Each structure stands twice: as C-alpha cells, then as structure tokens.
Chains A and B, each alone.
Chain A
Amino acid sequence: MLVLFSLGVMWETRVLPLGSLHNPGPGYMPMLLAIVLAGMGLLVALGGGSSPPLASLEWAEGKHALAILGGCAFAALALERLGYRLTVIILLVFLLWLVERKRPGVVAAWALGLAFGSFFLFANLLKVPLPRGPLGF
C-alpha cells in the first residue's frame, strides 16, 4: 500500500518543476520523500513475516466504526446546509437510537441538550462562529 501510494505521488509530482540537486524546485522534496516512503514500505513488507497474520486481527468493533464514520460524513455534508444544531440532533439520534438502541426519551434528552447546550456555550458565550441553517436554526 505504502509503495503504491508513493508511486502515485511520483506520478502526481511530474507536473511540478523538479529543479536540480543543487537548486531544488517545488517538486524536489515530494519526489525525495516519495522515494524514502517507497524504500520504507519495502522494508516493512520484507519484515512482514514477523507480524501477526492479517486473519488474526479482530474486527468486533468494525460495524460501530463504520456507523460512526458515516455519522462524520453526514456531519460534513449537513453542517453548512442544515446548520449546527439540526445536524447535531440528527447525528445523535442516528448514533443513540439506531446504533446504540437507547430509549427514545434518553435519545431526545441527550440530543436536544447537547445540540442546544454546546451551541450556547461555544457560539453565544465563547463567540465561536457556528453555522446556522436556512431557518436560522
């Protein structure tokens, strides 16, 4: 993976002037680092025999991890469209109700409390600019 990534970087670097060994251009350092990365990637691959086999890794938390990452992606997409508070409410309802199977009362209290509480603390008290949705929510 590391070697493939470094080959990709070398390919992308072709559009940048490399300069010379004595007068490096903007493409010089990325190319040099890609070469180092490829070398280290090869060393890691060669030493792979001493590592535990891939099949021995446990992925018990994998489904949770995917759901949480999905939640992050939703937050990135929705934050500036729906506003901070609505995004947080939907995100927490998804995680607490659908993923963690918490009772609706707990979900509602936690989601509303955290969305409005954190907005009040950061946006109102600490003056951190947070996005508001189309309805100012």
Chain B
Amino acid sequence: MVETLQDLYLGFSVALSPSVLLYAFVGCVIGTLVGMLPGVGPLAGISLLLPATFGLNATTAIVLLAGIYYGAMYGGSTTSILMRIPGEAASVMTCIDGYAMTRKGRAGPALAIAAVGSYIAGTVSIVGLMFLAPLLASFALRFGPPEYFALLILGLLVLAYMSGGSMPKALAMAALWLLLGMIGIDTMTGFFRFHYGLVELGDGIGVVPVAVGLFGLSEILLTAGQATPPAVMKPRLRELLPSRQEWRESAWPIGRGTVLGFLIGIIPGSAHIISSFVSYAVERRLSRHPERFGQGAVEGVAGPESANNSATSGAFVPMLALGVPSGPIPAVMLAAMMVHGISPGPLLIKQQPELFWGFIASMYVGNVVLLILNLPLVGLFVNLLRIPYPLLYPAILVFCVLGVYAVNGSVVDVWIMAATGALGYLLRKFEFETAPIVLGLVLAPMLEMSLRQSLAMSNGDYAIFINRPIAAVMLLVGLALLLLSLRPLLTGRLDWRRRLGGQAQPTLAEEKRP
C-alpha cells in the first residue's frame, strides 16, 4: 500500500509537469470533439492522431492518446442526449433515456448526471487499475509461450462471445483478419507471405489504416447520404443542475455502472460498448418502475455513462500488465506504444515506472479536466454540431487520408483504408461485427509465434497446452464459451444480448436516423 502511494506520488510528479499536463488537456479536448462528431469515434481519432505524436516522448504521447480515449467517452454523451446521435458506439444506450429527458426539458440535468457519473466512474476505476495491473503483471511473469497462446485464444473467443451479432459471424471476422495478419515476412523463417510484389507489405497490414477505414470511413459512408440531423438544443449553465430526486435516483446506478464497467473492461471485447448495454439492462431489471425506461429515466443515463467510462480504465489492465490488448482501442494504443519503443508487458511497471505511474496519474488529472470541460463549456462544444454534415464529412475524410498517409508516408496505406472502409460499410450493412477485426490483425503474429514457440519447447507435443495448468484452464474456459455460444444455434433460443437488453442492438446508422 505504502509502496503504491509512493509510486503514485512519482506518477503525479510526472503528470503535473507542464508538458504532460498540456498534452493531457489537449487529448481531453480532442477526445471530447472526437466523441461528439459522428463518423470519427475514439478508435479512428487515436489512429489519426498517432503520427502527430511521433515527435513527442513516450509518456506525453501515451497520455495524449489516452486523453482522446476517455475524452471521447465523455463527449459521446453530449450528442446522444441533445440530438439522439451517438457520437461513438458506447453512447447508443444513453440516447434512449438521455434524449427522452431532453424532450421533457431536462437536457441540462441529463448532461450533468452523465458528466458527474463519468467522473466518479473514471476516478474510481483508475484506483482499480492502479492496484490490479501490478498484481496481474507479477502473476504474468509465470507466463510462457503456451500460456500466451491460450490467453490469446481465450481473448478471441470472449470477444466473439461478448460482441453483438452471432458467434459464427464474429469468429468468421476474427479468422478473416487473423488471416490478413499473416501478410508480411514470417519472423521465424523469413518467408514473405502474400505480398503480391508490394514491398510495403513486408511488415504486414498496418493497424491504423484498417482502424480508420473500418471505423472512420465506413461510418462516413453510412452516414453521408442520410437526412440531416435535427436542430441542436443548447442548454444554459443554470439549467444544468439536477434535482435532489434525480441525484438520489442516480447514485446507485453510478456505483453499479462503475463496478460493472471496470470488470467488463478487463475482459476482452469492445468493453466500453458492451458495458453500457449490460448496465442499462441491469438498471432496468432492478428498477421498481421499469416502464419509465425509454421515457426519460435518469438511471438509464447514469448507469451506462458510468459503465463506459469505467470500462475504459479496465481495458488498460491487460494491456499494461500483460501486453495483450483487450479490444480494438487498446490494440491501437499498444501499436502506439511500440512505435515509441515501449514493449508493454509484465516488466513494463518495473522497467518504466515513470511511464506507468505518470500515465495513471494523468488519468486522474484528465478526469478533472473533462468534468470542467463537459459541464460549463458544453454550450461551446455544441456549436460544433451546428456545422452541416455535408460540410463536416469531407473535412473528416481529409483528416482520415492525412492521418493514414502520415504513419508510414505510404499511399499503400491510403488504398488499404479505402478498401477496408468499403468492406466495413458492407459488413455493417450485413450486420457483421467489426470489433474482432482490428484485434485479429494485431493478435495474428503473436498467436502464430506463441504456437510455434510452444511446439518448439515441447518437441512438437501439443500436450504442452494441457500439462501446464494456467494454459489448460484458459483453454477450458474458451471451450466452455464456444459451447455456450453454440447453444442458441441448436435450441433456437435468443442469445444473451437480446435477453438482457430486451431488444436488438440498434446499429449506429439506425440510431442516427432522426
């Protein structure tokens, strides 16, 4: 405990240095904008800003990118509440009751509850990250290639199980992108696989063009031809204060959302999205008046908003402690750390304490900045939404092209972005889950390497995955999940998401239709 506090003191001495503080602030502002703008989202936002961090040192770069991530979680709630447009996917559930509150003239309290809930959840979950990541890291020192292989397989299966849509579709997507992750030079033998004469593919397909194409460009393709959004409401500062009853009704949903979000965040998957769905379902189930949900229940805003912020910190636990991303956003963050010469994993906390604890402390600071940004300045940010989308999307497209090109200075990446954008557009039309795609691409080389190293260790004996207890347990859990997810196929029952939510997951495009 004392050691942790000392480490945290070290972290604050890094986080409160002027340059880190400045970049945390800039990250939060950009994140808020990214979260509010339909068609960007935290994943594309982080990917686009990646080249701009090349000139920074590792700590400020990671602090900036993390600021964008949790800033987007805050910003996404504004458009959901005021316009019923989820700026990013995790805010879909906030649209339902948040917008209903706006129509009742309670937009201000909805925004305040969302911001305060996000602040509490963000701050409490960092405490969880602070204590859990070092523990997990010391446990992970026992991991060898077989354990990493089992962990990666488990991660992919959990992601497929937790994602929206059917398990076969999610697994097909993961397999497809694991396959595309095979492109490039095989590190064990030096074979150049599937290159078709393009030397740029030597290092494989980059995460950034794929992420921007799938999540940024495909969103533009889906949204650009739609009807223009409805008029924007601009709440005044004095209208922001919730009533005493609203505070009372929000207290437990914020607490439950914080715990749920953090726990779901640790599990592989698009944690911030899933956590908001689960939190909404839990709140409705626990409510004495479930019929109020959908009609402007403040619990329907407090729970999901707290959960998606808490999940953000939870998702950093496996990334920092194990070096294994738990979702597409941590996957891009991991790539960003590698660009700066940092290898996340069990040794990171010991070898680079300034980076780890500076990052943790910057999250505390960032949450305070975001609370200040998102309440008094909400009117200022809302002005951005007054720019008509036909003017806005060409600008977003320019930033997509610029960001993707700048990573490697290669037009091949722009082509990859265009191709994955078109593919993402079609996949979302056909209701395929796109979250496993980016993760599959990042995990592919790790998965192959750990399998081959494991077999080299055991002279080709596959029993190594059963003889080592940690690996065996993880593979057993993965098998159980696979069987569980196949059950609806055999029995014709609804899957857990539809039962929990009581309704199908609305797509972003559906939500955006006024």
Contact = CB atoms under 8 A, between A and B. Distances in A.
Nearest to B414: A76
Given A68-B397, A114-B395, A118-B399, A79 B405 contact: yes
B484 interface: no
B17 to A, nearest CB: 20
Chain B interface mostly: helix
A108 interface: no
B402 A37 contact: no
B455 A22 contact: yes
A79 B410 CA distance: 10
Nearest to B440: A33
Contacts of A43: 168, 172, 489
Interface in A101-133: 102, 106, 110, 114-115, 118, 122, 126-131
B459 interface: yes
A21 B402 CA distance: 44
Contact of B221 (A27, A69, A91, A118): A69
A86 interface: no
A61 B226 contact: yes
Contact of B188 (A22, A26, A88): A26
B406 A128 contact: yes
Contact of B223 (A34, A61, A110): A61
Nearest to B49: A126
Interface in B155-182: 166, 168-169, 171-172, 175-176, 178-179, 182
Contacts of A100: 390-391, 394
B308 to A, nearest CB: 27
Interface string A28-61: 0110011011001101100100010000010011
A60 B226 contact: yes
Contact of A72 (B223, B401, B406, B489): B401
A24 B390 contact: no
Interface in B165-205: 166, 168-169, 171-172, 175-176, 178-179, 182, 186, 188-189, 191, 193-194
A7 interface: no
B175 A76 contact: no
A136 interface: no
B51 interface: yes
Count chain B CB atoms within 10 A of each CB in A2, A21, A30, A102 and give the residue with the most: A30
B459 A22 contact: yes
Interface in A12-28: 12, 16-17, 20-27
B452 A24 contact: yes
A61 B406 contact: no
Interface in B11-29: none
B451 A37 contact: no
B451 to A, nearest CB: 7
B451 A44 contact: no
B221 A68 contact: yes
Given A23-B455, A68-B393, 17 more contacts: A9-B179, A21-B460, A26-B186, A40-B175, A44-B169, A47-B489, A57-B429, A61-B221, A68-B217, A69-B418, A72-B421, A76-B411, A79-B411, A88-B398, A91-B398, A95-B393, A131-B409
Interface of A: 2, 5, 9, 12, 16-17, 20-27, 29-30, 33-34, 36-37, 40-41, 43-44, 47, 51, 57, 60-65, 68-69, 71-73, 75-77, 79-80, 84, 88, 91-92, 95-96, 100, 102, 106, 110, 114-115, 118, 122, 126-131
- Closest 4 A/B residue pairs (Cβ): A22-B460, A61-B225, A64-B225, A40-B172
15 contacts: A22-B461, A30-B179, A30-B182, A33-B178, A37-B172, A43-B168, A61-B223, A68-B220, A75-B414, A95-B393, A110-B394, A118-B402, A127-B55, A128-B51, A131-B405
